[in-house]
Amino acid sequence: MTLRTRFLLTTLLAMLAVALPRLRAQTSGPVLYTGARIITGQDRPPIEQGALLVDGGRLVRVGRAGDIKAPTGAQVVTLTGKTIIPALIDTHAHPSTDREGLVRDLQRRAYFGVGALMSLGTDKGDLAFQMRATVVPDGARFRTAGRGITTPEPGRSDVPYWVTTPEQARQAVREQAALKVDLIKIWVDDRDGKYVKLSPPLYSAVIDESHAHGLKVTAHIFNLSDAKGLLAAGIDAFAHGIRDVDVDAEVLALFKSHPRVVLVPNLPDRGVATDLSWVDGALPPAELAKLQAGAVDHPEARAAFALQARNLAALARAGVTIALGTDGNTFYGAHQELEDMVIAGLTPAQALVAATRNGAALLNLTDTGTLEAGKRADFVVLDANPLDAIANTRRIHAVYLHGQPIDRAGLSAQWRGGR
Ligand SMILES: [Zn+2]
């Protein structure tokens, strides 16, 4: 062996040693996950004593444990007493706009069982599109609405388009469509009288042009009257609930005549002190302490929550499709939103369908959101049943995205050390 060969060999072995811990965590070949209760994300009762057969990142079979045999050579993972849900889909967030921050945001989402995250209208430049095309190791999938559209809001972010004519509105949509955004976002809100909000001729132009490009439009709203105008104009989704007054018969009728519209209620702070000890795996202890110190009672917030909760319950009762969104950049927010939706009146099963199947459909993620053969193996293994208590979604045993386990222990060690 020449010196050079020996050097190459040593280098190769060193590289392998670095790569090995990572390789060990990855699975290859078929794996049968068996014995758990499976909540499929569809409108059906859970499968008690269920099994998932996963191969090549996909679900090959989903059913009762007794009906699915492990193929020869398959690895078998016994999950008796656990509950499996589809990975969560967050349809409304504003994650970091720098690469390092966004990678961390996506990994923190994956750590907490979120499989896909939609950045809703505050992305300028190329990064969001590069990240959408990237598989972030141990990270959630990323989707973007690029730059959203509003009227001039001087002093507020200038990332969105500021449009004042229907032609400008159409041009904005054409530019975003050329970038192949996943959704078009608009804001229809005068922010307590500070701005002139997007008018019906402007948002109608956005909706019409978006539909001509095969894109859905989702609207940030505050007022009932704007919800009505937008429904009449053909809006596809609301990124917030109705926040000024209780819903009325007219808006219920409008929702009924537009049955494909999706509501993302995005409930506000309940104003109640909360225990955040369950997020301790994702933060250095000092940061968790700061976060916990802020999670105190805010009685003044409770009326706003109560109003939006009533509106959510009324719209859900009327059969409106609900999906989950958290707004902002709270990496554990999906679990709080699930609980808030249940406090508002959804059943845990309805809240889970909203957070999985319905969110995936809104984002056109046809390969995830439910646990059925052919879909990606994106799922969360829980230590307790969320149908008993929705907060059990926080008791995460493991997360799998595209069939691969998220290295939760490795991520946690990194973050708790403050990196
Ligand atoms: Zn938002």
pLDDT attached to residue 43: 85
pLDDT per position as a tens digit, 287-332: 999 999 999 999 999 999 999 999 999 999 999 999 999 999 999 9
Q: Which helix (H) or strand (E) holds 91?
A: strand 88-93
Q: Give me ligand 1 centre to Cα 191, in Å.
A: 13
Beta strand ranges found along 153-238 (DSSP E): 161-162, 184-188, 217-221, 237-238
For residues 18 and 367, which has the higher predicted lDDT (pLDDT)? Answer: 367
pLDDT exceeds cutoff 60 at 13: no
Q: Give me ligand 1 centre to Cα 211, in Å.
A: 22
Q: Give me ligand 1 centre to Cα 199, in Å.
A: 19
Rounded Cα distance between 189 and 186, Å, is: 10
Cβ-contact 312, 341 below 8 angstroms: yes
Q: Give me ligand 1 centre to Cα 115, in Å.
A: 19
Cβ-contact 318, 258 below 8 angstroms: no
Q: Which helix (H) or strand (E) holds 47?
A: strand 47-55
pLDDT exceeds cutoff 70 at 140: yes
Residue type at position 103: V
Q: Give me ligand 1 centre to Cα 121, in Å.
A: 8
- Per-residue pLDDT averaged across 39-64, rounded? 96
On the 0-12 / 13-18 / 19+ scale of CB atoms within 10 A, 108 is buried
pLDDT attached to residue 26: 61
pLDDT exceeds cutoff 90 at 174: yes
Q: Give me ligand 1 centre to Cα 225, in Å.
A: 20
- Per-residue pLDDT averaged across 267-293, rounded? 95
pLDDT exceeds cutoff 80 at 418: no
Rounded Cα distance between 115 and 185, Å, is: 21
**Cβ neighbours around 15 below 10 Å, total:** 10
pLDDT exceeds cutoff 50 at 274: yes
Q: Could you tell me the fold of the domain covering 1-87+368-419?
A: Urease, subunit C; domain 1 (2.30.40)
Q: Give me ligand 1 centre to Cα 267, in Å.
A: 12
- Per-residue pLDDT averaged across 56-78, rounded? 96
Q: Where are the domains of the chain?
A: 1-87+368-419, 88-366
Give the class (CATH, top level) of 88-366. Answer: alpha beta
pLDDT exceeds cutoff 80 at 186: yes
Q: Which residues contact 300 (CB under 8 A, 6 or more apart)?
A: 271
Q: With the CA atoms of 307, 243, 329 and 296 taken in that order, what torsion angle do they form, in degrees rounded to the nearest 10?
A: -40
Q: Which helix (H) or strand (E) holds 385?
A: none
Which DSSP letter does residue 67 get? G
pLDDT band at 404; cut points 50, 70, 90: very high
Q: Give me ligand 1 centre to Cα 209, in Å.
A: 22
pTM of the predicted structure, to 2 decimals: 0.93
Which of 412, 408, 386 is closest to 86 using CA atoms? 386
pLDDT band at 7; cut points 50, 70, 90: very low
Q: Give me ligand 1 centre to Cα 133, in Å.
A: 22
pLDDT exceeds cutoff 90 at 389: yes
- Per-residue pLDDT averaged across 93-116, rounded? 98
359-378 b/e (C-beta count within 10 Å ≥ 16 → b)? bbbbbebeebbbbeeebbbb
Q: Give me ligand 1 centre to Cα 292, in Å.
A: 24
pLDDT band at 157; cut points 50, 70, 90: confident
Which of 185, 169, 314 is closest to 238 using CA atoms? 185
- Per-residue pLDDT averaged across 165-183, rounded? 98
Tell me the two tokens of residue 314: 């009324």
pLDDT attached to residue 155: 82
Q: Give me ligand 1 centre to Cα 120, in Å.
A: 6
Share of the chain above pLDDT 70, in %: 93
Among all chains, which residue has been given the structure tokens 């009505």? 228
pLDDT band at 11; cut points 50, 70, 90: very low
Rounded Cα distance between 7 and 375, Å, is: 45
Which of 161, 197, 344 is closest to 266 using CA atoms? 344
- Per-residue pLDDT averaged across 369-390, rounded? 98
For residues 26 and 323, which has the higher predicted lDDT (pLDDT)? Answer: 323
pLDDT band at 419; cut points 50, 70, 90: low
pLDDT attached to residue 393: 98
